[in-house]
Every structure is written in C-alpha cells, then in structure tokens.
A and B are shown apart, each in its own frame.
Chain A
Amino acid sequence: MAHAEDAEYANEPLEFQSAEGRNNILGFWIFIGAEFALFSTLFATYFVLVNRTVGGVSAGHLFALDLVLIMTFLLLTSSFTCGLAIHAMRSGKVKQMINWMILTLILGLGFVGFEIYEFWHYAHEGATLSTSAFWSAFFVLLGTHGLHVSVGIGWITLLLIQVKRRGFTPRTTSKVFIASLYWHFLDVIWIFIFTGVYLMGLGGL
C-alpha cells in the first residue's frame, strides 16, 4: 500500500521501502518470538524426559559425533551462503543472489538427507517414536526442526521462481528477506539442539 511516510525510507534497502514490506518484516519477527516459545517448550519437554529410556536404548548408545558434525557443518554453512545471497540482493545482483540461494538449498537438502538417514538408522537400532519417553521427545524435537527446514526449502524455492520472473521489487525482496530470517533462526535452534541434545547426550548427561 502506498503510504505517505514511504518517502522517509527511500534510502533503506528495497525490502523496507514499502509499508507492506516493513509490516511483514515486523510481523515475522514477532512470529519468530512465537517460534522461540514453541521450541522452548519442546526443549523443556526434552530435558524433563531426558534419559527416561526405561532401560531401553539410550542416547549414548546411538549418537555419533561425526554424523552430527557433518550436519552442523552443512546447516551453518547454509546460513552463511544465505547471508551472501542477501548481500547480493542488497547490491541488486539477481543472478548472484539466486545462485547463492540455490547453494543454500542444496546444503539444506543435504542436512535433511542426513537427518532422514539418522532417523532410519536409529529405527534400525531399535529406537523409534514409541520406544520410550526419551525417544519420543528426541524424535519430536528433532523432527519439528527438520520439518521446519524442509518447509523452508520449499518456501525459498517458490520465492526464487518469483524473483526470477519479477526481479527485485519491494515485494519480492521483503519476501526473500523474511525467508532468510527464518533460515537463520533455524540455524540458531540447531545450535541449541547440537549442544543441548547431542553434546550433552554424548557427554552422558
């Protein structure tokens, strides 16, 4: 919507130049607040139920550091490339931005792939959703994060098509910017998972 105060934002990046873009970005920050509450609840559940394996398979048995390190590397790098994509967007380079984003998506897909492998592997070793309270909490926490990443991949793909068709406009840039916030947010959550779930699990906590 055209707004009188839009003129004040003429020197800001494109995604802030329309009132709609600014509203969407603020709205998304608030939504991220809600997402924090959501993941906090999952973490709370996890820590309440940690080690409640009723004598069955435990975290120490199955967690493998190398796998987790690969996943961490993939996701953190994807956050970096995502940042580069936004940087390219700020300097108006459509092609570069799309390329960085595609790299981001590939890294994200790699992450999801390893996660699926991990879940499959655990299931093979006798740890599933219904094995014990601990594994219920583990799979739901990790699964929620993985699902978020997958949704993010689909979402950004749709946005790239739009950027390709329309170029950078206040509308498309604010959409991409928001998706990048989401992507970084998932990275932050992963760092909590990495330390809280894997490192502490391997450390026998």
Chain B
Amino acid sequence: MKWDEFIITGDPLILGAQISILISGIGAVFVLTYFKKWKWLWDEWITSVDHKKLGIMYILIAILMFFRGGIDALMMRTQLAAPNMTFLDSLHYNEIFTTHGTIMIIFMAMPFLIGLMNVVVPLQIGARDVAFPFLNNLSFWTFVIGMGLFNISFIIGGSPSAGWTSYMPLASNELNPGPGQNYYLLGLQISGIGTLATGVNMMVTIFKMRAKGMKLFMMPMFTWTTLITSMIIVLAFPVLTIALAEMTFDRLFGTHFFNLTNGGMPMLWANLFWIWGHPEVYIVALPAFGIFSEIISTFSKKRLFGYNAMVYSIIAISVLSFLVWVHHFFTMGSGAVVNSFFSITTMAISIPTGVKIFNWLLTMHKGRISFTTPMLWSIAFIPNFVIGGVTGVMLAMAAADYQYHNTYFLVSHFHYVLIAATVFACFAGLIYWYPKMFGHKLNERIGKWFFWIFVAGFNICFFPQYFLGLDGMPRRINVYGVEDGWFALNFISTVGAFIMGLAFIILVYNIYYSFRYSPRETTGDSWDGRTLEWATSSAIPPHYNFAKVPEVTSMDAYWKMKEEGIDPNKIEKYEKIHMPSNTALPFVMGCFMFLVGFGLVFEWFWMGIVGGIGIFACMAFRSFDYNDGYYVSVEEIEETEKRAREAK
C-alpha cells in the first residue's frame, strides 16, 4: 500500500477535517500540558472504575458522535437540497450515509443511553457501584477503541460505503475493495464486545445489588428498562458478533458464507444482520421509555400509572423484538406465508407500546404538571413518536411495503421513531440528571429555546419526507432531476435539518453558559425527585454513592421517605466502606485491541497477532491480580459528608 492511499488526499472536505482534527488534537495536548492536567486525567478518569465517571465519559463521547453524525447528515441534506447538486459525488455520498447511520446508532444512541444507565442505575437501586467495576472500565475502553477505529477510516484508508446494513454482495471484496468495509466490521466487533459486557454487568448489578427491601416490582422504571435492555443485549449481540466475524472471514480469509458463486447465501447476511438489528432498535428505545417514565412521573407529582402493565409491556416488547426481523426485507422474496407471519408479529408490537402511551398520558392526567425542560421533551415525545409508530404499522403491511420500501417514507419513519424516542430521551435524561452529575442545572430558558427550535426543525426536516417517499423518491440517492418534482419538499427538509443544527449549537452554548452562571445545587434533590438517586449529594456524588445504603419499603422510595419525614442522610455512626481500586489494565488492553483492529483492517496480520498476544497477556495478568480494593475510612466519609451537608 502506498502512502497516499493510506492517508486520504485530494478531497477538500476531508482535508478540512484532517486539519481541524490536527489542530484540535494539538490544542487538547497543549491545554492538558499547560494546566498540568495529565495526571488528573489519568487518575480521575481514564483509570477510574467509578460508574458515574464512566457514564459521564460515555455521554461526552456520544455528544461528540452526535456532532460527527450530524455533520454527515447536514452534508447529505445539502447535497439533496436542490436538483442536480454536485456537492458530493456518489461514492462520497455513499460513504457518508454509511458512517452517519452507523455512528448515530452504534456510537451515539447506544453509548448515550449506556452512559445514562451507568450514571443512574446503581444510584437508583442504592448500590455502591456496579457488580463488576473493572469490567465496566473495560467495556468503556472497548467502546472507545471501536469508535476510534471506525472514525479514523475517513482520514486513513477510506470509509465504508455499503450502508449501515452492509448487505452482501455490495460489501464484498469484489464490489467494495479496500479497507473501508473492514473498518466497519472491526469497529463494530470491538465495541460490540464492550456492549455485551455492559449487558452482563447491568443484569448482575440489578439482580444482586439492590438496596435492602427493594423487590423487583419496586424498582424504578428506568432500572426495569435497563434490565430488560441488558437481556436483549446479551441475546442479540452474539448474533452480530458472528455475522461480523463471518463477513470478516469472507473478506480476509476467502470463506464463502455470503458469496453466491461458491454456495454462500447473501440472504444469510440479511437475516443475521436483522436478527440483531431489530432488537437493536429496542435496545435504544426501551431505556428511552424508562427515562420518559421517570420524568413524567416526577413532574406530574404522581406515581407512574399502571406500573405493572408498564413492566409487562416492556417484557412483551423484548420477546416480540426477536420475532419481527423479516419486516426489513419483505421485498427480497421471502414468500407470502413468511411475510404474513412477520407482518403480524410486527403489528403486534404496537399493542404493548400503545399500553405504555396510555399509561404515560394517564400519569399526567390530573397530575400537578410542571413544565420543566425535561418534561417538555417527554411530552413532545408522545405525539412525535406516535407519528413514527403509525407509519411503522403502515410499513408493516407487507403488501403495502412493496410500494414504499426503501423510499423516503421509510427514512422519515425511522427518524421519527429514533429521534422522537431515543434522541429526545437522551436530551431529556441529560437535562434531568445533569445536576446529579455536575452540581448545577442547565439553564431552563436557553433549554426551552433549544427545545422549541429542535422540535420545529425536526418536524420541518422529516415530515415532508413522508410525501417525498409517497412521490417515489428512493433512499440513498445523491442526485435527482428537476423533472422528478422533488425539489420543494427536499428544500424544506434541508432547511429543517439546518434548524436542528442550530439547536445543537444552542445546547452546547447552554452547557457553557450554565457552567459559568447557573446557581450551584446544594441539596442533591434538584427536582423534588421520587427515586433514590436524589437521596445522595450532587456533582458526581461521592465514589461510594451512599454513606449508608438506604432501606426501601415501597416504590418511589425516596418520595416515601420524604413523606414520612425520614432523612436518609442522617446517620449516627459511619462505617468504613469497601471499594474497588482504579485500574490501568483495561486501557492497556484497549491499546492492544486497537492493534488487532488496525492490523486486520489493512491485512497486516503480524500486527494483529502482536495485538492478540497482548490481549491474552493482559487477561493472564488480570487472572493473577488479587487486588482486593480498599476501605474508605470513617474519617474520610465524615469529611466528605460534612462538606456535602455544609453546602446546604
């Protein structure tokens, strides 16, 4: 491989990106060195096993990826704004919709939610940490390495271009030579391992580490959705692991899993991909439902209506999510009986989902609603998500799907679902738990600007796309002609996209502004909350979470305590607390994983082998590591708690 094939050259857009990456990289190194923050970064964050800090790092990277995926989206919308645009050529357009889709789902939505889970779930169940703190740090680094590997593709070697679904034979060596597709395969593979580990970790945490007295049916709804989501992860991600591995073998070692000429079956890929891919949709949707449930109940000052029905519907959804995957390729010739079966199972999902919608509405009914920004996002979620859901049922009718399959009708549908559920929930959850993480609220007035502008932009962008779809505009095209008559709607859509971009800037400004000017929290109970995370102090609560683990007697445990006048922080005698030590090993392992990934992307097998040996060496090292953690002394707890109380 020649040097100029290695580093992508000749495209002004990419050159601009390269330069800006270089400058911001140098800038970051400079700032860290100048303020002598390296040690702090290493000790407090990179090697931290504190679930709250890991959660915050997940969220930070997710926001960064939202930016990257958003720039991709704006570039695509610019190209489609008018007929016969020449901003992006077709290859570049293909690369961009591929990276946009992959990044948004794998490296934005999922880590954002996993970040929130990490921050919140142990606090909500009154646990000191997650069950496997070391593994938690390792999950984070595998995610970062997978993300990093995927992201460098566009400056080194070239981006994948076969769509986020990577259908074969489009993604094969013949039609897609070069390292681009390998980046997709290995980036997803590596980060997928971390996701699986998180799933296991969360399940054990929730099963085994709940505060005394907290029965399963007393758990907050976000914890419930995290539990069910983790189960879906544990069952769905291995399917992706194998699918990716098989395609990697096809590309690197000449196997024929998906290669028709030697007996392989391209449709096998489509099936495996969507057996994972559809549950993946619920992996990013269920936690969102959990977040909305928390927020709606808190700001309606009522307990969640139909709690049990909510739990059973998420369980039903999780089962059904594995039974619908064929609806992604009705038109690929599965036959009438198969299509009908999957058509019906798909529609069946709307039943438990409908139950949840009514429960949210009934929670608000006769509640004392306060229209804070998290609540606004939650209320806006309902109608927008219903639009996405109803069009989803339209798509679920196999016969009708032959009409609008792979048109903008679909593009609009899935953005309505993904943005109204997942992205709105990420924003809502971020704002809601922001004071818990950083000790001050985000400014509500700027937050409302952000809210209204984003929601307006979102609808302006995606609503017209339903009509474009019905007018026959296919997805994944980069040019259309004047005679197609799609100009006006496309132009409106692009305007909407830029309005969303503007809203994102307002969010970033809000973070800056609130950091500077928002009053600091003193109580820890920022919103008059109902669940245990509000019972401890704010601004990244002490690493041991609770000086004394609270005891729980009912749902909405903290609310009950407040009603009964119990102060969970009033403790006569502190006891020392056992906590795990920080660790550098996962970071080192991550570096070796990067070697494996990078080596395989370029088929430099020696590098892959070196990395592989490194990984196994780290595992052996870990096996012999009998570090037992350490005890937080009573004095230190007293000191920390006193400081938190004094802030009052």
- Chain A contact residues, CB within 8 Å of chain B: 1-2, 19, 22-24, 26-27, 30-31, 33-35, 37-38, 41-42, 44-45, 48-49, 52-54, 129-130, 132-134, 136-137, 139-140, 154-155, 158-159, 162, 166, 171, 175
Stretch at the interface among B89-97, B144-152, B261-269, B302-310: B261-269
Q: Are B234 and A34 in contact (CB under 8 A)?
A: yes
A2 / chain B contacts, CB cutoff of 8 Å: 578
A132 / chain B contacts, CB cutoff of 8 Å: 256, 262-263
Bound-complex Cα distance A53 to B264 (A): 9
Bound-complex Cα distance A34 to B204 (A): 14
Bound-complex Cα distance A163 to B459 (A): 63
Q: Select B265's contact among A27, A49, A54, beta carbons within 8 Å.
A: A49
Q: Are A23 and B132 in contact (CB under 8 A)?
A: yes
Bound-complex Cα distance A137 to B249 (A): 11
Report the number of A-B residue pairs with Cβ-Cβ less than 8 Å.
119
Q: Are B255 and A129 in contact (CB under 8 A)?
A: yes
A22 / chain B contacts, CB cutoff of 8 Å: 208
Q: A48-B265, A132-B263 are in contact. Are A137 and B257 (CB under 8 A)?
A: yes
A48 / chain B contacts, CB cutoff of 8 Å: 265, 268
Q: Are A158 and B623 in contact (CB under 8 A)?
A: yes
24 A-B pairs in the complex with CB atoms less than 8 angstroms apart: A23-B204, A26-B207, A26-B208, A30-B199, A30-B203, A33-B234, A33-B235, A38-B238, A45-B268, A48-B268, A49-B264, A53-B263, A130-B253, A130-B254, A133-B264, A133-B265, A134-B263, A136-B250, A136-B257, A136-B264, A155-B623, A158-B623, A158-B624, A162-B624
Q: Are A140 and B243 in contact (CB under 8 A)?
A: no
Chain B interface residue count, Cβ-Cβ cutoff 8 angstroms: 43
**Proximity bits, B444-476, A CB within 8 Å = 1, else 0:** 000000000000000000000000000000000
Q: A27-B204, A137-B257, A159-B623 are in contact. Are A49 and B263 (CB under 8 A)?
A: yes
Within 8 A of A (CB), among B232-248: 234-239, 241-243, 245-246
**Proximity bits, B614-641, A CB within 8 Å = 1, else 0:** 0010001001101001000000000000
For the A-B complex with A30-B203, A133-B264 known, give 11 more contacts whose Cβ atoms are closer than 8 Å.
Answer: A2-B578, A30-B199, A30-B200, A30-B234, A38-B239, A38-B241, A38-B242, A44-B272, A136-B264, A137-B257, A140-B257
> Chain B nearest CB: distance from A12 CB in Å?
15
Max chain B CB contacts within 10 Å: which of A2, A35, A137, A154? A137
A30 / chain B contacts, CB cutoff of 8 Å: 199-200, 203-204, 234
Q: Is B59 an interface residue when CB atoms closer than 8 A count as contact? A: no
A130 / chain B contacts, CB cutoff of 8 Å: 253-256, 262
Q: Are A136 and B268 in contact (CB under 8 A)?
A: no
Q: Are B200 and A34 in contact (CB under 8 A)?
A: yes
Q: A27-B131, A30-B234, A37-B238 are in contact. Are A45 and B257 (CB under 8 A)?
A: yes
- Chain B contact residues, CB within 8 Å of chain A: 131-132, 196, 199-201, 203-204, 207-209, 234-239, 241-243, 245-246, 249-250, 253-257, 259, 262-265, 268, 272, 578, 616, 620, 623-624, 626, 629
> Chain B nearest CB: distance from A17 CB in Å?
15
Q: Are A129 and B234 in contact (CB under 8 A)?
A: no
Q: Select A158's contact among B132, B209, B620, beta carbons within 8 Å.
A: B620
Q: Are B204 and A133 in contact (CB under 8 A)?
A: no
> Chain B nearest CB: distance from A55 CB in Å?
9
> Chain A nearest CB: distance from B624 CB in Å?
7
Bound-complex Cα distance A1 to B579 (A): 8
Bound-complex Cα distance A38 to B201 (A): 18
Q: Are B242 and A45 in contact (CB under 8 A)?
A: yes
> Chain B nearest CB: distance from A122 CB in Å?
15
Q: A48-B268, A158-B623, A162-B623 are in contact. Are A23 and B131 (CB under 8 A)?
A: yes
B236 / chain A contacts, CB cutoff of 8 Å: 37
Q: Nearest A residue to B235 by beta-carbon distance? A: A37
Q: Nearest B residue to A158 by beta-carbon distance? A: B623
Bound-complex Cα distance A136 to B209 (A): 44
Bound-complex Cα distance A54 to B385 (A): 48
Bound-complex Cα distance A155 to B208 (A): 26
A33 / chain B contacts, CB cutoff of 8 Å: 234-235
Q: Nearest A residue to B267 by beta-carbon distance? A: A48
Max chain A CB contacts within 10 Å: which of B234, B249, B255, B616? B255
